[in-house]
Structures are given as structure tokens and as C-alpha cells.
Amino acid sequence: MTILTRFAPSPTGRLHVGNIRTALHNWMFARANGGRFVLRIDDTDAERSEERFVDAIRADLDWLGMTPDGEARQSARGALYEARFAELVAKGRVYRAYETAQELDLKRKIQAGRGLPPLYDRAALALTDADHARLAAEGVAPHWRFKLDHDAPIGWDDLIRGSQHFEARTMSDPVVRRADGSWLYMLPSAIDDAEMGVTHVVRGEDHVSNTALQLQMFDALGVTPPRFAHEALLTGAEGKLSKRLGSLGVDHFREVGIEPQAVRALLARIGTSDPVEPIADAAPLIAGFDFARFGRAPARFDEAELAQLNARIVHGLDFATVADRLPAGMGEAEWDAVRPNLSVLAEAADWWRVIEGPVPVDAELDAAYLDQAAAVAGEIDWAGDPWHAMTGRLKEATGRKGKALFLPLRRALTGLDHGPEMTALLPLIGRDRAIARLLAR
């Protein structure tokens, strides 16, 4: 069996971090098992779906390195839905109902007042052909519900949650089609999973009850259902479901300088028993992917943790990987010198300006000491290790040591009191620029 997973977003907005995690795990599971990962655009909601969001979803997946192996769109599959819907009508598994939202709300309030669960009472099943004809004559269009088999047990072995069981009689017959003929999520999704040959569905635990309903739909369609894995939802750093998570997406990550490798490394492992590590290459993440490692507790997403992970990822990026994103003229030696001090790649430009100059002049520094340093800088051999050669000579001549020896030099040479190792930085600044900075007043 060839593994086939799908990521099925609705193009009604941008992907957020929870969507990205779902897509990532579907992609990783497919890759780990030599399978295929498909993007399915669930755009049956024509009023809210926008093409710009379709383009954005594709671009986001590409940026994350998760380009799908294929793509399908629900809006192009209407004939298939109609055919399968007609089969279910003929089998008596979908039926017409007419209650308004207000009427259903009133029924739920009455049930609640009686201490009963808010289940649809199937009143529409008592309507006669004459009733349907009368309502049609009055211009009342029906919506359609899927009729659950109350006698059939619902259960499956979830790849994360283990054995799952539901009683159909405790669930309402779900509405699958609106009065205007448009589709709700559940039936088209089940039809597509069956027709596309989806073998595994990886999604959030908020879909568990949907899976219970869809299993009866698969059975009514006469097809074998896919395997399901329902993962714990993401929470914010405070340990609660956070609206902030709904606003965090690829645009935000790119804006603050987060690398796609860092997003992958964090989302691949939070919520699992594996440690989050700065793994830039997707291959080892994929190789270790296993639903048995996923826990049931909510997975905590912390932007601070992502930022720290991103810095560690950046520190490990080689020059060839980042060359086209560095300032013009910045070479491998400069990159190797500054990358241990970067939080995000864009900060490389700041250190390139330190190397190229000019740098701020600190008028409070000891001018006599810097004049002495400039003289030493003109005498030492710059082909070797000029920093240690210069500081060694100055230590011997002045008796300075520690901060008194090193810090004035760093401030004069870079305009800062921190940064990359001067051993690596000074040769890049070069003899002439170094002497000029030491003599600047």
C-alpha cells in the first residue's frame, strides 16, 4: 500500500501555526513511509474562498520546504459529490429537513430545560410526501442531514489516542448540505478521502467527533476508511489555547527573521517525547517521525523558544546556504566570523557594516593608549594572528590586562563593547582600517 496523506485547508485566510503543524506532520509521515503528500484546497465555500489565499497557501508550503506531490480542488469535484449524494439519498442515508436556526435553537433550549442532551430529534423523518410537496410549493427549500445508524457501534484505533469509541445514538444527524445547495465540510471531505485513496488523515483532536461521524459516511459509501491520527492542539506559552496562535503564520515568521528550518524543527517535535533540537536538515526529523512518540497533553508553542532555536539554526548554516541573502561583498570568512553572534540572518548586515565601517568614535576612550595601539598595529605581522600579536605587545608594554586591555580596543575598532571574537574580526577589518579607527578622535 502506498501511503497518501493530505493537507486540506480552506482558502478563507492565511495559514497559522496550527495549520502549519498539521501540514508538517502529514508531510513528514508521508516522507517517512515513502508515500505521497497532497494539497487539497477545500474551497466549497465559494463566498468566503479567495484565490489570493490559495496562492498564499502554496507559497507558504514552498517556503517551509513542503512542496506537495499533487493538488486537488473541491470546487472542481462537484459532479462527484452530486453522484455520491444521489447514492446516499437512494439508500435513505440522507434526508430533507426544514427547521430554521431559530427553531433548532428553541428545541435545544427545551431539551436543556428537561436535562436532556441537545440532540436533533429527527422530526423531519416523520414528514410525508405531501408535507414535502406543500413545503416545496411554499418555496421552502430543505437542508439535508446524514442519517446515523444508531445500532452500529463506532470505533477506531487512533494512531495517537489509541482505541476510540462513540455511540451514534448520542450524536445528532449532521447537516451535510445547506438549503442553497452548498456543501458543508464533512461529506465532501469523506468522499474526497475515499476517491483520492487517502490512507492516513492526520489532524487536530478537535476533529475526533467529526471522525466518528465520517466513519459512518465511509461505511454508507461502501469504502474502507483511512487510518486516523488526532494530535493534541497547540497552546500558547501560558499553557492555554491562545488567539495569538491564530495570527502567527509564515508572514510573521519571515518578518521577524525566523528561518523555515527553525519552524520545522520546533513544530516537528513539540508535543512528542523527542527533544527539540536545532536540526536544519529535514531528513533526520523525518527518519525519527513516529506517532507513538506523540503525547496526549497539549503541545505548548513558545515564540521565545522558537527564537532561541532559530539562533542555533543560524549558527549552523554554511555559507553556501545563505550566500545569496548576505550583503554584497560579504564572503565566507566574514560569515564564519559573525554567525555565532547572530539571532537572525539579517543581523549579518549589521556586522558587515562594522567590518566595512565607518564606526562610531568614542571620545571618552584613552587616546594615549589607542595611539600606542595604532603604533603596534603598524608594526605587527598581519598575515598571522594580528589580534593576539597586538594585545600581547600592548600587555607587555602597558601592564594592562583583562577588560582594561581588551575593551578599549574593541570599542575603538568596532564601535561596540561586544560581538564576534576579535581574533576572527580584526583580520577582516584589516590593517589600514584598524589603524585609522584607533587614531580617530
The tens digit of pLDDT for each residue in 295-310 reads 999 899 999 999 999 9
> Which pLDDT belongs to residue 273?
93
Whole-number Å distance between alpha carbons of 441 and 438: 8
Q: What percent of the chain has pLDDT over 70?
A: 99
Confidence of residue 168 (pLDDT cuts 50, 70, 90): very high
- Cβ contacts of 175 within 8 Å, gap of 6 or more: 97, 143, 144, 145, 184
Instruction: Quote the pLDDT of residue 237.
Output: 78
Strands (E), 188-312: 200-204, 227-231, 234-235, 299-300
End-to-end alpha carbon distance in the chain: 75
Report how far residue 120's alpha carbon sits from residue 173's, in angstroms, rounded to the nearest whole number.
7
Q: What is the pLDDT of residues 195-204, one digit of tens each?
A: 999 999 999 9
Bridge partners, residue 201, by sequence: 228
Average pLDDT, the chain: 95
pLDDT score, position 391? 98
> Over the stretch 221-236, which tens digit does the pLDDT of each residue have?
999 999 999 999 999 8
pLDDT of residue 245: 85
pLDDT of residue 106: 94
Of 127-136, 234-243, 344-353, 363-372, which gets the smallest average pLDDT? 234-243
Checking if the pLDDT of 63 tops 80, the result is yes
Tell me whether residue 243 is annotated as binding: yes
At residue 43, the pLDDT reads 93
Residue 285 has φ and ψ, to the nearest 5°, of -65, -45
All cell numbers assigned to 104: 433548532
* Mean pLDDT, residues 266-291 taken together: 96
Burial degree of 437 (CB within 10 A; 0-12, 13-18, 19+): buried
What pLDDT, on the 0 to 100 scale, is given for residue 241? 66
d(CA 344, CA 200): 36
Tell me the average pLDDT across 53-72.
97
* DSSP per-residue codes, 208-262: HHHHHHHHHHHHHHT-PPPEEEEEPPEE-TTSS--GGGGG-SHHHHHHTT--HHH
**What whole-number percentage of the chain has pLDDT above 90?**
94
> For 270, what's the count of Cα atoms within 13 Å in the CB-facing half-sphere?
29
- How many other CB atoms are there within 10 angstroms of residue 145's CB atom? 21
- Is residue 415 classed as helix, strand or coil in its secondary structure? coil
Average pLDDT over residues 340-351: 96
279 secondary structure, DSSP code: -
Q: What is the pLDDT of residues 234-266, one digit of tens each?
A: 998 777 667 788 889 999 999 999 999 999 999
List, for residues 387-398, the tens digit of each pLDDT value: 999 999 999 999
CB neighbour class for 389 (10 Å; exposed up to 12, middle 13-18, buried from 19): middle
Q: What pLDDT does residue 47 have?
A: 86
Arithmetic mean of pLDDT, 174-189: 96
pTM of the model: 0.91
Across the range 165-180, mean pLDDT stands at 96
pLDDT at 37: 98
Q: What is the pLDDT of residues 2-13, one digit of tens each?
A: 999 999 999 999
